[in-house]
Chain A
C-alpha cells in the first residue's frame, strides 16, 4: 500500500508508516489545537519533496494564513510552487451580494479545475464547518456523504478540518463523537486534537489517531509539541 508520510517526527511511527494514499481524513479539534498548523506542516513537508498539495481556506485569507504559517517556519517560497493556497475566503468577501453563491459548486469547480494544471496529491479543506454553513446544507448527513463520495473521486489524500467545542475531551474522558453529522463513519481516518490540562495551570496539546483504515496505528493520545517544528511524543506522566 502506498503511503503519504506526514514528515512529522513521531507521527509516522504512530501511524504505522504514514497515511494510506487516497484516504479521506477528518482532523477535528477545538480552536487553538493546531489543526491548521498540523495539516499545513504535512502539505509543506511533502511539497518540499515535490508532492503537490492544495490548501483550501474558507475562513482565513491567503495573506493571513501565509503570515501565520511563516511565523511557524513554513516558508511558502521554499516549496518551489508545489504548495498552492486557494483563497476562497477572499472570494467570499468579493462575491457578496443579495443572492447566495453556490459555494459547494464553487469549491468543486476550483478543486477539480486546478487539478488539470496542478496535479495535487494532498488536499486540505479548512474547514468543513465553514463549507457547511456557506453551502447551506439542507440535509447535512446526506450532503456530507455526497461531498466525501465526490472527494474520493479526486483520488487524492484529503484532510477535512472540523471544529469541536472547546472543552471536548479535555478532561481525560474518551470522546465518542468527533464530528457533528457522523462524518467520522465516512472518513477513512480521524485525528483528534485537544488541549489537555497538565498540572495545576498548564495545558498541553495532544493528538490521537482515532481511526486509520488499512493501518495498524497506536490509539492513545500523544503530546503535540512545537519547538523548531511540530513533533509528536509520548505523554510524560
Chain B
C-alpha cells in the first residue's frame, strides 16, 4: 500500500468515527443528518480512492465518483451554513439548498465534457461549482466572525475546516498536476480535519437537553400575544414563572431556560437548565431557536441572564437578547427575559436595546401595601409573622401565598375574638374582609394587568378607602396591638394538625381545611388527637379518598392539575410524618 492510500485510509477511519460520534452526541437531528450525509460522502470517496489505487475495486464510472465529489462540496457548504444559522437556515439562506440542484446535471455532463476526478478543479463549469461551494462556506464564516462576537471563536474553527478543504482540494490538485502525479488526486486528505472542526462547533453550540418534549402541532395563542422579546422587570422571576405556568396550562408550548432545574410542577412546562461552560449563552440561543422552530408561537422564559453573563460575558447576553427578539418575531413567539440580579450598568445596556419593558410588582411590597390599608403601620409586622409561620423570607413571597395569608389572618382574628368582643372584633373582621378582597383581586391579576401598573401600592388611595376609614373608626385603639400579638402566637405554634392543614390549604385553598377535617372524621379523630400514623394513613389513602376531587372535572388539564395537587398533598403529608419521627 502506498503512502497516499495509507493516509486516505486513516482519514476514512476518522470520518467513520466522527460520523458515529456525532450521531451519538448531537441533539439537532437536522444538523446531524447533514453532517452524516457530508461525512458519508467523504468516506465513500476516500474508500473509492484507496480501492482504486490498491486495485481492490473494479473500475467505477467517473461520473459516479464525480457526483459524490460534487456532493461532498455542496453538503460541506450547507453544513457550515447550518452550523452558523441553525434551524433558521431555511429562512435566512434558503438559496444555499440550490447548491444541490446542479449536481446530477454536472455528473451527467462529465463523460461528455471529458471531466475527470483528476481535473475536477480546472477552469471549467465543474471546477467553478466546486470552488464556489467552498467559497460560499468560507465567505459565510468570515461574515459570522465579524457579525457575531459571541460566535467568533466557532466561526474561526469553521474557517479552519473550510480552508483545510480548500488546501487539500483545489490547491493540492493543482500541485499534483504541476508535478505530474494526477493519479493521486481524488480524495480530500483534509476531510477528517474539516469534519473534526465542524463536529467541534456542532457540539459546542448544541442545545441543552429539554424535558419533556413539547407536543407537535400545539398552537394555542395563550394570554400574551406579543411576538417579541419582552423584559419582565422584577426582582425575582415570579411573574415570569407564573405566566409560563398559565401559558402552558392554556395549551401553549412553553419553555423555561434557567440555571437550576425548574421547580414548577406543571408537567406541560418544558424546561432546560444550562450547563456551566463558556458557550452557555450561545447554547441557550440554539436551545430557544430549536424549541421555537419545532413549536412556533411558543412561550419562552429566559430566567437567569445574570448567570449567563457570568459564564459567557455580558456582550454575549446582549447579543442573544437581540437575536432572541428576531427568533421570536420570525416564529410568532414570545420570549420573556428576566433581568433580576443584573447590575445597574447591565440594566442600562439592556434598556438601550429598546425591548418592550414590563415593570412587575413585588408581591411582598404589594401585600404589605394592601394590609396597610386595613391595619396601618402594623402591616409589615403582620406579614413578617406570616412569613415566620411559613418559614419563608419576605422576598420569596408570591401571589400564591395569598390563600395561606388569608387563612393565617383568619386564625389570628379567631384567637383574638376570644379575647376582645363586640364592635372591636367586628371592626377587625370588616377590615380583614376588606383586605382579603383586595388581596384576592391582586393575586388574580396576571402579568399583563400588572404591567399596566395596577399595583395596590400605587393606587392605595383609590381602593375601598371609604370602607377602610369606616371600619377603622370602629375600633381605633389597643385591639390592633392584640391582633399582632395573636398573629405572633399563631406563627409560634405549629402542632401537627396545623402543619397538615397548611398543606391542604396551600393546595386546595380555603376548601382544604374542610377536606382535611373530613379525612380526620373518617378516622374518628379530632384535630388535637392527630398523630403521625394518622398522617401516614391519610397520605396512603389520599389518591383514592381525594381522587373524587379530580373525577368530577371533564377538562383534562384541570383533572391532571388536581391530581398533581393530590399527589403533592400526599408527598408533603409523608414528609411531615417522617419529620415527626
By a beta-carbon cutoff of 8 Å, the part of chain A in contact with chain B is 62, 81, 84-88, 90-91, 94-95, 97-102, 105-106, 108-110, 112-114, 116-119, 149, 153
Contact = CB atoms under 8 A, between A and B. Distances in A.
B561 A117 contact: yes
Given A62-B554, A100-B514, A109-B510, 12 more contacts: A87-B552, A90-B551, A91-B548, A99-B514, A101-B511, A105-B509, A105-B510, A106-B511, A108-B510, A108-B511, A112-B444, A116-B250
Interface stretch (B5-13, B45-53, B516-524): B516-524
B552 A91 contact: yes
Contact of A117 (B250, B440, B521): B250
B514 A118 contact: no
Interface string B525-557: 000000000000000000000001101111101
A86 B552 CA distance: 6
Contact of B555 (A112, A117, A149): A117
A114 B552 CA distance: 12
A24 to B, nearest CB: 17
A91 B508 CA distance: 15
B562 interface: yes
Contacts of A112: 444
B440 A153 contact: yes
Contacts of A85: 554
A114 B554 CA distance: 10
B558 A117 contact: yes
Contacts of B520: 99
Contacts of B553: 84, 86, 110, 114
B513 A114 contact: no
B509 A108 contact: yes
A102 B552 contact: no
A88 B517 CA distance: 19
Contacts of B522: 97
B24 to A, nearest CB: 39
25 contacts: A81-B555, A84-B553, A90-B548, A91-B548, A94-B548, A97-B518, A99-B514, A99-B518, A99-B520, A101-B518, A102-B510, A102-B511, A105-B509, A105-B511, A108-B509, A109-B510, A110-B553, A112-B444, A116-B249, A116-B558, A117-B250, A117-B251, A117-B555, A117-B561, A153-B441
A153 B445 CA distance: 10
A84 B521 contact: no
Interface string B344-385: 000000000000000000000000000000000000000000
B515 interface: yes
Interface string B306-347: 000000000000000000000000000000000000000000
B511 A84 contact: no
Given A97-B522, A100-B514, A108-B509, A118 B552 contact: no
Contacts of A106: 511, 514
B246 interface: yes
Given A99-B518, A101-B515, A102-B513, A113 B562 contact: yes
Given A109-B508, A153-B441, A84 B514 contact: no
Contact of A113 (B441, B518, B554, B558): B558
Contacts of A95: 515, 518, 548
Contacts of A108: 509-511
Contacts, number: 83
A118 B517 contact: no
A110 B548 CA distance: 13
A116 B246 contact: yes
B249 A117 contact: yes
The size class of the interface chain B forms with chain A is 20 to 34
A141 to B, nearest CB: 15
B517 to A, nearest CB: 5
A40 B104 CA distance: 65
A88 B514 contact: no
Contacts of B250: 116-117, 119
Nearest to A92: B552
Interface string B238-265: 0000000010011100000000000000
Given A117-B557, A118-B558, A97 B521 contact: yes
Q: Please indicate which of the listed interface residues A86, A110, A117 has the most CB atoms of chain B within 10 Å of its own CB.
A: A117
Contact of B514 (A62, A101, A114): A101
A121 B249 CA distance: 17
A192 B521 CA distance: 43
A106 B513 CA distance: 11
Contacts of B548: 90-91, 94-95
A149 B440 CA distance: 12
Given A101-B518, A118-B558, A153-B441, A88 B552 contact: yes
Nearest to B517: A99
A116 B251 CA distance: 10
Contact of A84 (B246, B441, B518, B554): B554
A88 B250 CA distance: 23
A119 B223 CA distance: 10
Contacts of B549: 91
B440 to A, nearest CB: 7
B508 A98 contact: no
Nearest to B223: A119
Given A113-B562, A117-B561, A105 B552 contact: no
Q: Please indicate which of the listed interface residues B513, B514, B548 has the most CB atoms of chain A within 10 Å of its own CB.
A: B514
Contacts of A119: 250
A114 B558 contact: yes
Contacts of A110: 553
A147 to B, nearest CB: 13
A99 B327 CA distance: 56
B511 A109 contact: yes
Contacts of B510: 102, 105, 108-109
Nearest to B546: A95
Nearest to A100: B514
B414 to A, nearest CB: 15
Contacts of B440: 153
Contacts of B562: 113
Nearest to A90: B552
Contacts of B246: 116
B514 A102 contact: yes
A116 B561 contact: yes
Nearest to A89: B552
A106 B548 CA distance: 13
Interface string B424-453: 000000000000010011001000000000
Contacts of A109: 508-511
Nearest to A88: B552
Contacts of B521: 97-99
Interface in B42-88: none
B402 to A, nearest CB: 12
Interface in B279-295: none
A108 B514 CA distance: 14
A85 B552 CA distance: 8
Contacts of B551: 90, 94
B215 to A, nearest CB: 15
A87 B505 CA distance: 22
Contacts of B511: 101-102, 105-106, 108-109
A84 B552 CA distance: 11
A229 to B, nearest CB: 24
Contacts of A98: 521
